[in-house]
Structure 1
Amino acid sequence: MTSFQYTVPTDGLTIEHLLREQWEAGKKTVHFMRMSKSVTGVDGEPVEWKFPQKAGTELTFTVPDAHSTYTPEKMNLKVIFEDEHILVVFKPAGIATHPNDSNQTGTLMNYVMAYVKENGGEYAEHIHRLDQGTAGVILIAKHPIAKTLFDRMIERNEIVRKYQAETDGLMKRPKGTINLPIGKDRHQPSKRLVSISGQSAVTHFRVLERKTDTTIVEAELETGRTHQIRVHLAHLGHPVVGDVLYDGSRTKDGYFRLNATALSFTHPLTGEQLNIEQ
């Protein structure tokens, strides 16, 4: 079980409308919460689901089956932002975002799970992911309702994700938008390419600095396809430095120069506008 606090934002809102219509919580979750009377007021008493609440009313929601199965693994974790709904953490280059099977360790989510458990929690799920070679900020949900809300925000492009990349060559265009679909490379499963039969993909970019033979670029995702920035920049003839999969020049440490630098969004559970930077 996981509990969180919520302040009713407007007069007349009912628990049923909030869960079913606004948050679109899963049917199983909604049924359990109603049957177990797991929405309570400040006095600890269950709240009537169809009773209109007043703005400013403090409620406690207790969510069922709120636990994750990642094996906790202790590691220094850089936490950039945290409240009772979400974490924003820094992922170093060279580690995977999450395990590919239940026995895998050494991933960011193993470290996040250890941190969450140390602080009394049982649940942590990533909202998006970064490639193993990419460093930067990742958003984590701390309970299933937050997971549902933020997943929907990602689908609707309501979370602005900014990246900074160092690319090979001197990019002439000061800014632009790359609107080219991305699909799988049938000859190399781990690779993606621009393909008319692929999924739509949109990347906005602008040049921050031109060096001797490389360019520093800020990129903003409108969609979130696998390897999207890497594929789009390589297609322009300016692959990310170190990204040998897409013909980028090699680096001494073997990592490519791509960092997720910032997240911006309106918090769906607090209404706060957040601009979180690495």
Structure 2
Amino acid sequence: MDKLTTSFRYRTSEEGLTVEEILRDDWKAGKKTVHQMRMDKAVMDTAGHPLEWRTPLEAGTELVFHFKDVYSSYKPDEHVTVSILFEDEHILAALKPAGMAIHPDETDEGGTFMNAVMAHVVRNGGAYAEHIHRLDKGTEGIVLIAKHPIAKALFDRMIEERAITRIYHAEVDGRVKRMRGTLQYPIGRDRHHPTRRRVSPGGQDAITRYRVIERNDESTLVEASLETGRTHQIRVHFSHIGHPVKGDTLYGGSETTDGNYRLIATKVSFIHPFTKELTTIEAK
């Protein structure tokens, strides 16, 4: 797609902050990003005049941040649609259907979640959309999308620092005996399979907390929250304790008629790094 300007507006909340302090101290933007934005005179007032970076600003000053030639390569695809659950200047949250890939394998492909998100962004005059986390193709639920590079960097760091709460509902095979528990097993690659993961002593630390919502004769509905975000984490952990997610045949789960997993990302919650407000988004 054409290289369009990506921009966002921000209103200062504290008296006396400078542009440099907002970027460097509050948002902790990288040195390279700060330097480039200074060279590009990328921060302006609402009249389009570049601002001095070290001049204290009055509380309530509205700033406009521009990113020259910053755009995403996903091809907008109007033939696929997703439900937008939340959107502001910085991020959006959309509901990914089960069975839809999160992004294309090749940049010119369509039909994926990110192609649908990009179509929405372009329709509204934007040019940038990058997912902050992922869901497996067979999983339904909420995905957070950054609408500019600073939001992407901030939310990536929040994921690393476990500052975003992510809640899932999963129907797993069998009757889970304990009403609640913590699954803390390191997860690594399975050397015998190209995409599968496994519990491994040499793997990355992984923590899943759960509580039982409902028990049936052959399955259990659980609510699971992630303290870490390892690939296939919920699927690997519940398979490891003998209760694989229904439909997840890769990890021993029973088959479902549609071939999708009975796993839904139902809720995300975080302190918004730009507004400082507790933000909770739930699947409808």
1:84-233 to 2 correspondence within 5 Å? 84-233=89-238
1:138 Cα offset (Å): 0.2
Match for residue 4 of structure 1 among 8, 28, 31: 8
CA RMSD of aligned residues (A): 1.3
Partner in structure 1 of residue 37 of structure 2: 33
- Output the CA distance in 1 between the equivalents of 2:197 and 2:39: 47
1:266 maps to 2:268: no
Match for residue 73 of structure 2 among 60, 69, 76: 69
1:28 Cα offset (Å): 4.1
| Kept in 2: contact 1:180–1:200 (CA 8 A) | yes
DSSP 3-state at the match of 1:212: coil
1:26 Cα offset (Å): 3.8
**Count of residue pairs the alignment pairs up:** 278
- Output the CA distance in 1 between the equivalents of 2:279 and 2:53: 30
Amino acid at match of 1:209: E
- Output the CA distance in 2 between the equivalents of 1:162 and 1:47: 41
Tell me the TM-score normalised to structure 1 length: 0.96
- Output the CA distance in 2 between the equivalents of 1:8 and 1:182: 42
| CA deviation string 1:183-237 (max 9, x = no partner) | 0110112111100000110001000111121100000000100100000011111
DSSP 3-state at the match of 2:254: coil
Match for residue 50 of structure 1 among 49, 54, 57: 54
DSSP 3-state at the match of 1:33: helix
DSSP 3-state at the match of 1:145: helix
- Output the CA distance in 1 between the equivalents of 2:275 and 2:48: 21
DSSP 3-state at the match of 2:122: helix
- Output the CA distance in 1 between the equivalents of 2:42 and 2:85: 31
DSSP 3-state at the match of 1:109: helix
DSSP 3-state at the match of 2:221: strand
Tell me the TM-score normalised to structure 2 length: 0.94
- Output the CA distance in 2 between the equivalents of 1:11 and 1:170: 57
Match for residue 26 of structure 2 among 13, 22, 30: 22
- Output the CA distance in 1 between the equivalents of 2:17 and 2:68: 22
Residue segments in structure 2 that go unaligned for 5+ positions in a row: none
- Output the CA distance in 1 between the equivalents of 2:249 and 2:165: 27
Q: Which has the higher mean CA deviation after the structures are superposed, 99-108 or 195-204? A: 99-108
Residue segments in structure 1 that go unaligned for 5+ positions in a row: none
- Output the CA distance in 2 between the equivalents of 1:192 and 1:237: 15
Q: Which has the higher mean CA deviation after the structures are superposed, 149-158 or 93-102? A: 93-102
| Kept in 2: contact 1:162–1:218 (CA 8 A) | yes
- Output the CA distance in 2 between the equivalents of 1:229 and 1:162: 11
Amino acid at match of 2:150: I
- Output the CA distance in 2 between the equivalents of 1:65 and 1:98: 22
1:95 Cα offset (Å): 1.3
| Kept in 2: contact 1:157–1:222 (CA 8 A) | yes
- Output the CA distance in 1 between the equivalents of 2:105 and 2:268: 25
